[in-house]
Structure 1
């Protein structure tokens, strides 16, 4: 044990990060991920699932029957502040309801959690940036569905990373032969839980109780998240007290712990709720809540992984996004687009804050807004990593084009446009 501790300390010192700092990064990531992301995702997924429950699945049926409207519908979902709307769209692709072009349109229009920062501190810039992102997303989504734009070649290159696990989405005429591959999906799986509960007795009762508690904590996390944004996204200390900081801390830590339980243990006793899938319908309101909880719990696991990867990467290699962005100069929109390749919202929130502080130009903000996929990519990564990689590569293309055009031709592309 002493040898292991010594090795850990030596490794930490080698990468310029102390064990205390490493622990703080872990604790803050566990807390912040749930309040800043998962609580908002839970509300959005629940709303969509409840509409499905009340309408008997007519929304999915409508999208299946109106292929030409899919990129617009996907972009509208992505345009919703936060990542919840876009997260809802990913299972539609996995199910085979929407086209791959619609996936790209959704991800390209995704505003992510950075939208809350921009809309609060630079609302005019946010309206222009996300408006341009919506237009670029819709046009590029239709272009992929109509002409393919080389999706097949990129798909073949990514295929070496592993086989996909799903049907690869709706078979549009131009992409069907070259889009992400079709492997082993049965549409009948969408009408019931993919993982039937196998337990009974005390563990089943406990899991149902913790599921209900999860929603109580999610409501507290949503309140803490709204207050956090209303206060201008301040630094929140780790605190256990009847204060805003205490609510933020307790909701974040408890919510993440419960999410991990539901995702890795609870689903064996109460069912998985078709996480990562879209249900045709729900038999009860409770089933609707369970599906939303399981979906959000899965996203929470991926969000925490992304937070830790980003935060440890920043600390270990002593990287500073602000310094890098300032040094980019004329390449700022390219840097913004490339940063969008990083899944999750943490780096994008930092980037949005830098814009509000007038450290990066409007062209870079818009390029990042188009390129970023936020947390919406995680459900797709969990089920079909290959399609996720292809999709995130393709959202970068309109981001680069739009960002560079804005840099040279947009009259308000300078620093500080629309900042309050």
Structure 2
């Protein structure tokens, strides 16, 4: 029971400091840009149909998951193509990017450049040949006539808005326009207070998380106090608990009420902060679930990733791609840490970078699980091809099959 409780507390702490604080910064950055430009960024993505896939890849390439998270609701809204989703998710290295950028910048440069090129190419291929959800819907309809298709994403022979992509979901409403008692004498001020405290925890978590990465991602004991280890634990657990509150309760009294929806613009800086906090809290909940599932599997099964990779040979990049199928950043951060310790070849890191979707997959899973699964499969295939090619063809020539390539 002590081990189970320790894993729970460590997952709450690590999930917030190592992941959520960085997600908050990137989501907030895009939100502020939207506020300052009055929605021009999303408008530019929606209006430039032929460049959507490349834009999606660039947003996915930004460290963390904030850029990619911005794109997912646009697909749900029917204003970007399915190929854009595939390119965005494929180029996303999630929060594991922070680990590799800090500990192996040369490897990060090559790995993420390859992931970007492969993902954008895959995205354009998907759109050009009509391989979006519409084709999957047709196949499902043949197998199950009762299935309801949600429509494709390629119209008029090219990439464009999908008028049939209607989920029946209204536009996000302000917190005080729908939902439970918005004017509760207790929960409304409590939720605003939790929101303010959440941002204080996020700022502290960003500092602590950055120091943690610069220190090489050491093991942090579960302790309390005013030292680094104690603050790391206190801030992490506090931020995680506040995230759970905001997601489960607070969003009904502060902010939009709805999540995983793109905003064209924001009314004020506070509105922007609220949106970023609610979106990040939503991601945090899923990250914590992923952390706990993974850690408990490791705890009860005794699986050792580094040992398996060392004996895998050409199966290592396939394994890296397979790990990328797991939603969330937890397993990917672990894989990046193992790479930084010399436990994985570069081919496995690159395959993982292409296959993984980070936390950006969670908003899409919540509203369109079919599209999320199909996009993940589409990215897994080039991840395996590129990873194996790096290992067998280019790896021996450029040293990219070696363990520890580009590690400081």
TM-score between the two structures when normalised by the length of structure 1:
0.88
Residues in 2 aligned to 1:165 and 1:103: alpha-carbon distance in whole angstroms: 21
Residue aligning to 1:345: 329
Q: Are the structure 2 counterparts of residues 65 and 367 from structure 1 closer, same or farther at C-alpha, using a change threshold of 3 Å? A: same
Aligned match of 2:267: 283
User: Shift of the alpha carbon at 1:37?
Assistant: 0.8
User: In the alignment, which of 172, 175, 182 is matched to residue 199 of structure 1?
Assistant: 182
State the TM-score, normalized to the length of structure 2: 0.90
Residues 1:414 and 2:377 are matched in the alignment: no
Corresponding residue for 1:301? 285
Corresponding residue for 1:333?
317
Distance 1:365 1:208 in 2: 41
Which of the residues 26, 31, 35 maps onto 1:49? 31
Cα shift readout 1:103-146 (whole Å, capped 9, x = no counterpart):
11011111222222222222212111111001001111111111
Aligned length: 399
The one of 120, 127, 142 equivalent to 2:124 is: 142
Give the CA deviation at 1:196. 4.8
- Residue equivalent to 1:3: none
Looking at structure 1, the residues matched to 213 and 69 of structure 2 have their Cα atoms a distance apart, in angstroms, of 21
SS at match of 2:407: coil
Instruction: Note the 1:216-235 alignment, pairs <5 A.
Output: 216-235=200-219
Quick check: 114-123 or 215-224, which moved more?
Answer: 114-123
Query: Is 1:117–1:352's contact at 8 Å kept on the other side of the alignment?
Result: yes
Q: 1:224 to 1:154 in 2, by over 3 A?
A: same
Aligned with residue 236 of structure 2, among 230, 244, 252 = 252
* Distance of 1:80 and 1:169 partners within structure 2: 27
Matched, 1:31 2:19: no
Of the three residues 33, 47, 50, the one matched with 1:65 is 47
Q: Look up the match of 1:99.
A: 81
Provide Cα deviations, 1:341-389, integer angstroms capped at 9, x if missing partner.
0111222222222222333222111111111111111111122222111
Q: Is the 8 A contact 2:38 2:265 kept in 1?
A: yes
RMSD: 2.7
Is 1:116 matched up with 2:103?
A: no
CA contact (8 A) 1:96 1:168 kept: no
- Return 5+ residue gaps in structure 1 as ranges: 1-18
Q: Which residue of 2 aligns with 1:387?
A: 371
Q: 2:303 maps to which residue?
A: 319
Q: Distance in 1 between matches of 2:364 and 2:149?
A: 10
